[in-house]
Structure 1
Amino acid sequence: MLPYTAPSSAPLMVATWTPQRGLVLTSPAHLFPLKFFKFAHRPNLVVIAEEFPTQKAIMVDDPSAPGGKRLTFTGPVENIMQAVARHMNFTYTYILAPDRAWGSLDSEGTWTGMFGVIVREEAEMTPGPFFYEYTRYQAVDYTSYIFSGGYGILAARGRPEVDPWSFLLPLSPLVWVGVMTALLVVLSVMLLLPSCLPSHVQDPARRATNIFNCVRVLLQEDVRRTKGWWWWERVMLGMWMLMILVLTQSYVGNLMSLLAVRYIDQPYQSLEDVLDDDVKIVMVKSTNIFHYIRTVKIGPLRELGNLLGTERITINKYTELTTSLKTIVRDRSHVLFDVDINFNNMLPVDFSQTGQCDFYISKTLYANAYLGFIAQKNSLLTPELNKIAAALVHSGLYDRWLKYSQPNATMCNNLPRIITVTTVLSLANLWGMFAVLGGGLALCVVVLVVEMVVADVKRSK
């Protein structure tokens, strides 16, 4: 019996056998035809699909379809189905899930969305793509993977900001350690070498002056003269002055550059950053991550699962993501937690519409897994679908379809967090310096008052 033919159809006679004549082939078909690898009668199969950032549902004119309209999709999903249909010789009709969801296992143990349609055998297959997951694997057949992905965070980038404390950046802690170490070495030499002189030429006051001179050079002040310079004093002080000159000029050059720097805030690089903040989270309805976060025992995904049903979680369909991206995600009150492959297609669309890269993707991904399309459990279509999926991966066709499914596909990749601008100096750039200056002057006044009080106390005694 040929697959997908009416029950009343006659079986295909491929051969007969009698004791007298033996085996006689009666059909051009093989004795054991691979009837599920390439169909003989071009049947029409039911395929379920759903909108995705890389694929859009559209209605096209088709006089042979009910109502003169036929559902189809754009993007890689349609390319996949055309390749599979040509290879296996069938036609296909798209349907949508009743709840327009991808599907997950609900609390009653029932599969929803597209997954539920496949489990109930109301459709033969779906190009998905679906994440590999053990609970799903028990209910359907997965094909070979077509790509891998994980769940990440999409958030709005901050606006370029001035860092008033940028004048501290040129001198890192390691530089300060080096400067202080060099100062200690110079002071040590200034203290130890006079001890080698005869006692009648040693001058404690001169030694204190030399130490004070080294500190004054570091603070860009003048040098106090002594009664006479020993040659080694001149050498050490000259080397110290040269080192401080190089350090100062380097600092000045870097400081002028840093005053032109603007920092773009990207605070949410992991799920922990989101959970520790008051920002709300947008998730896609009925995806496999819901089952995972309900069952995982520890970690940030467990904390995310605890937020289900609260005001911090907003559930969207895929068709609603674009609206959420343009409104609540752009105003930085929400972030989107979904598959990174979606983000890689949403960002080019937004760039094409606005001409700006207003969003970024977190560095940390969760629930990394492979994705493939699925068929009914124990489906005889699965072996050939595996071959086609492997061919799409090895040939690079699927990656190419994904890359060129949207224009400007790479415009918002690897966005810098620091930019430079050409602008005049303002109080916004320099108030940190004035704060340090004012704090230093205030500290000097306090020290002066303390010294005066202490001096008066000593005189009174």
Structure 2
Amino acid sequence: MIRFPHRPHVLVTAEELVAQLAFTVDDPTAPEGKRLTFGGPAGNIMEMLSTTMNFTYTYVRSPDRAWGLLQSDGTWTGMMGLITREEVEFTPAPFYLDITRSQWIDYSSFVMLGNYQILAARGRPEVDPWGFLLPLRPKVWVAVLTALLVVCAAILLLSFCLPTYMQEPRMKDTNTFNCVRVLLQEDIKRTKSRWWWERVMLGVWMLMMVVLTQSYVGNLMSLLAVRYIDQPYQRLEDVLDNSDVAIIVAPNTFIIKYIETATSGPLHELGKLVGTKRIAYNKFVELENSMETVVRAATHVIFDLDFNYVNLLPKSFSLTGRCDFYLSRSVYATTPLALVTQKNSFFLHRIDKLSYTLVESGLYDKWMKYSQPNFSMCKNPPRIITVTTILSLANFWGMFAVLGYGFTVAVMVLVLELVCGGARWGQKGQVAT
């Protein structure tokens, strides 16, 4: 184990994440009696390194409070600039693995995987007026109608196969239409058919319809208490298609360069919006305020690393007791994150070993998750909830619409029959005269 004998003083850098906030503590040896420090995984890593390697440290923050991007003149901004200019030794803050950065700094073993996801506001619980169609999937409706046609066709075909003197046209037609009446929950005409196979087929069909309709009725009554919560932005394309919604991203970070250089796909389309009003820039510490204002108002969504949401969502739940936000199912730019040091730094071997240990033991993941109470409450909020409330017209207007359309079509057919029938009788009367 590498351990300094004389306890040197080391300069390091870090910036705030949602799970890694900066604060000051009293320190008589520091200027003005205050010393900057960080909580969360970065603070824990620095304490472990300083204890095991026997050194003291001071945080130096970059002027732009960012991770850093490569400028046109070949210099870096943010923490990358401090490390490449050798103003600090390393950083305990996680960095995306990037081939351009690797030419200037050294990466440790990765400490976590990062994904970019969309965070948006959930809709309000709504009643689905067409919920009466949901107990049966479209394939089931098709299967039921197909079975009805098969049963009716079987009765007709088997009847036609009988000798002429044994056929009973009226009974044959009655049994065929009885199958339709059973499906529509109507009374059936009494059959006088002497053929046992017709009665067996009709009885089996009635049994099938009893099971189906009772299951349908039970599920329908349950669905009347269901409320649906809209979660419209599950993909980046969904956000891009809505020109009224702005997208919040972090400035001077890996994703900005990534979307500006992407040549295809949704990230390329997102890159086209850079410089327009649809892209808003927020630092990590500003995300909470944006989430509770513009994101809650559904005018903005956040497009950021998933581990930044680990604290945002639980904190909102702790304050309101509700899951008012959700994360998209689609993820983008999945890349390992690791700690970085100067090129050929003396600290790289020890930091690399510590990173490997933290991942294998699960400590880093635990520090990220347990930095906020209720960390798992709003990770996958349900899209469907049940309520106990009085039924209203909002629950049924879809059924009344279908009934109204049915009556309208029936009246139109009746009028058409009367008109056509009257014309036909008129023609017969003229011929007779």
Instruction: Please tell me the TM-score bracket, short chain as reference.
Output: over 0.9
Q: How does 1:4-403 map to 2 (within 5 A)?
A: 37-225=2-190, 228-278=193-243, 279-403=245-369
Q: Structure 1: how far apart are the matches of 2:74 and 2:237?
A: 30
Hey, what does 1:432 align to over in structure 2?
398
Whether the aligned pair in 1 keeps the contact of 2:19 and 2:310 (CA below 8 Å) is no
1:226 is displaced (CA, Å) by 5.2
1:1-37 CA-partner distances (Å, limit 9, x unpaired): xxxxxxxxxxxxxxxxxxxxxxxxxxxxxxxxx9xx3
More helix by share: 2
> Is the deviation greater in 393-402 or in 337-346?
393-402
Deviations 1:99-127 (A, max 9, x none): 11121224554321111111121111111
Rate the CA distance shift 1:200–1:395 in 2: closer, same or farther, 3 A: closer
Structure 2's unaligned 5+ residue stretches are 428-433
Which amino acid letter does the alignment assign opposite residue 79 of structure 2?
Answer: M
Identity fraction in percent? 61
CA distance in 1, matches of 2:166, 2:188: 22
Which AA in structure 1 matches 2:307? I
* CA 427–217 in structure 1, closer or farther in 2 if over 3 Å, else same: same
Larger Rg: 1
- Structure 1 segments, 4+ long, off by >4 Å, are 226-229
The farther-off stretch of 174-183 and 253-262 is 174-183
Task: After superposition, give the CA deviation of every residue in 1:140-188 in whole Å (9 maximum; x if it has no partner).
Answer: 1111111111111111111111111110011112211221222122112
8 Å CA contact 1:105, 1:291 repeated in 2? no
TM-score, length of structure 1 as denominator length:
0.89
Please tell me whether residue 452 in structure 1 is matched to residue 397 in structure 2.
no
1:205 and 1:68, CA in 2 relative to 1: closer, same or farther beyond 3 A?
same
**Aligned CA distance change for structure 1 residues 109 and 293 (closer, same or farther; 3 Å):** farther
Structure 1 counterpart of 2:234, one-letter code: Q
Query: How many residues of Structure 1 are paired with residues of Structure 2 in the alignment?
Result: 426
What SS does structure 2 have at the residue aligned with 1:221?
A: coil
Equivalent residue, structure 2, for 1:18: none
Name the CA distance, whole Å, in 2 between partners of 1:395 and 1:221.
67
Partner of 2:373: 407
- CA distance in 1 between counterparts of 2:108 and 2:302 reads 29
For 1:294 and 1:355, how far apart are their aligned partners in 2?
39
* Amino acid corresponding to residue 129 of structure 2 in structure 1: P
Q: Does the CA-based 8 Å contact 2:171-2:193 persist in structure 1?
A: no
2:60 is matched by which residue type in structure 1?
A: I
CA distance, structure 2, for counterparts of residue 329 and residue 361 of structure 1: 12
